Chains A and B, each alone.
Chain A
C-alpha cells in the first residue's frame, strides 16, 4: 500500500509522513518527490528545514527542472527580506500566487518540509484551517507534509493527522536497511485501510517495500498451550460403543418427541379420565375471596 500512496494518482489528497527522532522521514519524502517527478508532476517545495541543495541531491537533474523551491530556509521569518516565502505567508492566496507563475496543465504537488516548523510559528488552528483551504482549493493535487511527531503534543499531532487523508507513520529500522511504515488511508467513502510494511530506499531514491512479518509473529502465542487432558487419572474420551450406549440412556426431565406425542395422543388401550365440572366445584383453592363476586 505504501507504493500505491507513492504512485498516488488521486486528486485532493493530503499525505502526512509522521516521523520521529529515531527515524527521519526525509529520505522517504525524497523518494516521493522522485516518484512524482518521474510521473511528470510539477513539484513545489516549501523548504523550511533543510536547504535546496540538500533536497536536490540525488535527484535526476533532468526531472528536477520541474521542481520549484519557495525558500524559507535562509530567512524563515522574513527578518532580512531575502526569501520568497515566509511563515506568515502560509495562506491559501499566497500559496496560490507562488504556484501561478509556473502553473501548467500538469497537476501540482505541494511539499511542505516541514509542518513542524510551521506549527511552531503559527497558531495550529490557523494552520489546520489553511491546510483545509488549500486542499479544497483545487489548485494543488496533493499536499505532502513532513511532521515530527515527537516535537509536539500528542493532541496537536492528532488534530493535524485528523485532517489528512493518508498518514504514514515511520518507525526505526528493524533489521539492516529495512524500516517500518504504518500506512493509514481513508477513502472517500469513509473506509479505512491500514497496513504495516517494511520498506527500503535505494541509491536512486526508488522505494521497495515488502509485507511486514513482525506483527504476525508477535500475535502468535510464544508458549505452546499445555493440553489439560494430557495427564488425567480418569477417562474423558468415549469410544464409539460407549457413545452409542450413552445415547440410549433416557435422561430424566427430558421431553423427547416420543414422550410428548404419547402424552398428547394416548393410545388405544390406555385409560382416560373423564371429568365434568360440578357447580359446587372449588376452582381455585388459594383464592380467599372467590365468594365475594368481584
Chain B
C-alpha cells in the first residue's frame, strides 16, 4: 500500500440498497490539494510539475514513492526538474524538504520558476493544433480518401485532464508566494558532526539526512501520528545530487568504492519511510560519474520510478540534424509497480525533451525518413542475400 487511500473498503450500506453495487464516491477519498487518484490503479498521485513527465511515468507520482533522476552531464536540466517539482509543491500548498550538499537549499528555493497562473497566457495545445492544421490545409497532400481523415500524429505527450501547472523559467517565484508554504532545509556543511560512530553501513552524511527526514515526517504528522482532525498534507522531498563527492561518498571517485552500500542502504531506508507516510521524493544522482554499472543498477532498482536525462550539450548529437529541435534525450529506466505485478509501460521508448521558456516538454522522437543512401540502407541491402547485392558498390541506380 503506497498511499493510504481507503475508499471502497467499508461494507456498510449494503442493507439499505437493493444492490451491492456502490458508486465510488469522490468525497470518501482523502482530499488533499494538488493530489488526485490515479485513473489506472486508484493510487493517490501528485504532479511532478512537468505535465508531460507526469504522462510518461503513468499519470503522476504516486504518494509514498521515490523518483530517481539521473543527472545530465552538466546538471542543468535535472536541476530544472527538481525546481519544477518544488514549485509545484509550493503552488499546491504542500510542505517541502530540500537537501543539498553543493548549493544552499535556500539558493535553490530562491531560483524556483514563477507559475503561469492565469489561463489566458498558458500555452493551450488545442489552439496551437487548430492553427497549425488551418495553415496546413492550404497545401494539402493529395491522398486516398481512406487516409485523409486519420488523426495527426501528436508528438507532444499530454494527458487529457489538466493536472499540474506551467512555469515561466525566465521569472522567479515571488518571495511571498514561496514563504506561504512550509519549507525544511538540510544543508550538509551546516550540520553538526555526528557524536556517535556510525554502526550501520550508511555513511554519516546519509545517516544525518535520514534522521532529519524522519524527524520532519514524525513531527509534522505525515506518518499519520497526528490526530485525524488536522488537515492532511503531502511532504515533497527534493534531494539534490546524492552520491556525489560532496555527500562524502566515493561512488563517483573510485571504480570500486569503499562504501559501496552507503547510498543503497540510504535509499532502502528512505523508501521504507516514504511508504509509511504521506510523502513523495525526487532524488537526483550524477550517474554519469558513477563508473560501476552494477551499483547504478542497484540504485535504479531501489527507486520506484527512474528516468535518465541525456543532454546533447557537448556530445556529437548536438550537431546531428535529427535532434535539432530538442535539448536532450529522456530514457525511462524504470516505471513503478504499485500493488500489482504488471505496470504501465510507456508506448514508446524514444523520448526527447526540450526546455522552452514556459514549458518543459517531452515528446516522442520521430525520425524523419532517411533519404541519404549511405547510412542504414547499405547494410540492409547487404543483409538481403539474393537480389541487389551487386548494386551496393556503385552509387547510381541501376535498373
Residues of chain A having any CB pair with chain B under 8 Å: 123-125, 128-129, 132-133, 136, 153-156, 158-159, 162-163, 184, 186, 190-192, 194, 219, 225-228, 230-234, 251-255
Contact present for B252 and A194 (CB under 8 Å): no
Contact present for B395 and A226 (CB under 8 Å): yes
Contact present for B291 and A129 (CB under 8 Å): no
Contact present for B313 and A194 (CB under 8 Å): yes
Residues of chain B having any CB pair with chain A under 8 Å: 74-76, 79-80, 101-102, 142-146, 148, 189, 244-246, 248-250, 252-255, 286, 288-291, 311, 313-314, 319, 372-373, 395-397, 399
> What distance in Å separates the Cβ of B168 from its nearest Cβ neighbour in chain A?
14
Q: Which of these, A128, A153, A186, A219, contacts B74 with CB under 8 Å?
A: A186
Q: Which of these, B143, B252, B291, B396, contacts A228 with CB under 8 Å?
A: B396
Q: A159-B289, A190-B80, A254-B145 are in contact. Are A184 and B397 (CB under 8 A)?
A: no
> What distance in Å separates the Cβ of A165 from its nearest Cβ neighbour in chain B?
11
User: Which of chain A's residues have a CB closer than 8 A to the CB of B250?
Assistant: 123-125
Contact present for A162 and B397 (CB under 8 Å): no
Contact present for A162 and B244 (CB under 8 Å): yes
Q: Which of these, A128, A190, A230, A234, contacts B79 with CB under 8 Å?
A: A190
Contact present for A124 and B289 (CB under 8 Å): no
> What distance in Å separates the Cβ of B219 from its nearest Cβ neighbour in chain A?
29
> What distance in Å separates the Cβ of B325 from its nearest Cβ neighbour in chain A?
18
28 A-B pairs in the complex with CB atoms less than 8 angstroms apart: A123-B250, A124-B254, A125-B248, A132-B101, A132-B102, A132-B189, A132-B246, A153-B255, A155-B254, A155-B255, A155-B290, A158-B288, A158-B289, A162-B252, A162-B286, A163-B245, A184-B74, A190-B80, A191-B76, A192-B76, A192-B314, A194-B313, A228-B397, A251-B144, A252-B144, A254-B143, A254-B144, A254-B145
**Looking at A125, A133, A231, A234, which has the most chain B CB atoms within 10 Å of its CB?**
A125
A184 to B313, CA, bound (A): 10
Q: A133-B189, A191-B76 are in contact. Are A155 and B248 (CB under 8 A)?
A: no
Contact present for A231 and B255 (CB under 8 Å): no
Q: Which of these, B142, B189, B253, contacts A159 with CB under 8 Å?
A: B253
User: Which of chain B's residues have a CB closer than 8 A to the CB of A219?
Assistant: 319
User: Which of chain A's residues have a CB closer than 8 A to the CB of B144?
Assistant: 251-254
Name B394's closest neighbour in chain A (CB-CB): A226
Contact present for B396 and A230 (CB under 8 Å): yes
User: Which of chain A's residues have a CB closer than 8 A to the CB of B80?
Assistant: 190
> What distance in Å separates the Cβ of A131 from its nearest Cβ neighbour in chain B?
9
A186 to B311, CA, bound (A): 14
A230 to B373, CA, bound (A): 14
Contact present for A155 and B395 (CB under 8 Å): no
> What distance in Å separates the Cβ of A80 from its nearest Cβ neighbour in chain B?
31
> What distance in Å separates the Cβ of B223 from its nearest Cβ neighbour in chain A?
33
User: Which of chain B's residues have a CB closer than 8 A to the CB of A225?
Assistant: 372
Contact present for B314 and A194 (CB under 8 Å): yes
User: Which of chain A's residues have a CB closer than 8 A to the CB of B244?
Assistant: 128, 159, 162
Q: A132-B102, A159-B289, A253-B146 are in contact. Are A228 and B373 (CB under 8 A)?
A: yes
A276 to B61, CA, bound (A): 56
User: Which of chain A's residues have a CB closer than 8 A to the CB of B75?
Assistant: 162, 190
A156 to B256, CA, bound (A): 12
User: Which of chain A's residues have a CB closer than 8 A to the CB of B74?
Assistant: 184, 186, 190, 192
User: Which of chain B's residues have a CB closer than 8 A to the CB of A230?
Assistant: 396
User: Which of chain A's residues have a CB closer than 8 A to the CB of B252?
Assistant: 155, 158-159, 162
Contact present for A129 and B289 (CB under 8 Å): no
A158 to B143, CA, bound (A): 54
Contact present for B253 and A254 (CB under 8 Å): no
**Looking at B148, B245, B286, B311, which has the most chain A CB atoms within 10 Å of its CB?**
B245
Q: A155-B255, A226-B395 are in contact. Are A162 and B248 (CB under 8 A)?
A: no
Contact present for B313 and A192 (CB under 8 Å): yes
Name B77's closest neighbour in chain A (CB-CB): A190
A153 to B396, CA, bound (A): 49
**Looking at A124, A153, A158, A184, which has the most chain B CB atoms within 10 Å of its CB?**
A158
User: Which of chain B's residues have a CB closer than 8 A to the CB of A254?
Assistant: 142-145
**Looking at A158, A159, A219, A228, which has the most chain B CB atoms within 10 Å of its CB?**
A159
Name B169's closest neighbour in chain A (CB-CB): A189
User: Which of chain A's residues have a CB closer than 8 A to the CB of B101?
Assistant: 132
**Looking at B143, B250, B286, B372, which has the most chain A CB atoms within 10 Å of its CB?**
B250
Task: List 7 other contacts, CB 8 Å, given A132-B102, A194-B313, A255-B148.
Answer: A124-B245, A159-B244, A159-B289, A162-B252, A186-B74, A219-B319, A232-B396
Contact present for B145 and A255 (CB under 8 Å): yes
> What distance in Å separates the Cβ of A125 from its nearest Cβ neighbour in chain B?
5
Contact present for B245 and A125 (CB under 8 Å): yes
User: Which of chain A's residues have a CB closer than 8 A to the CB of B189?
Assistant: 129, 132-133, 136
A124 to B76, CA, bound (A): 24
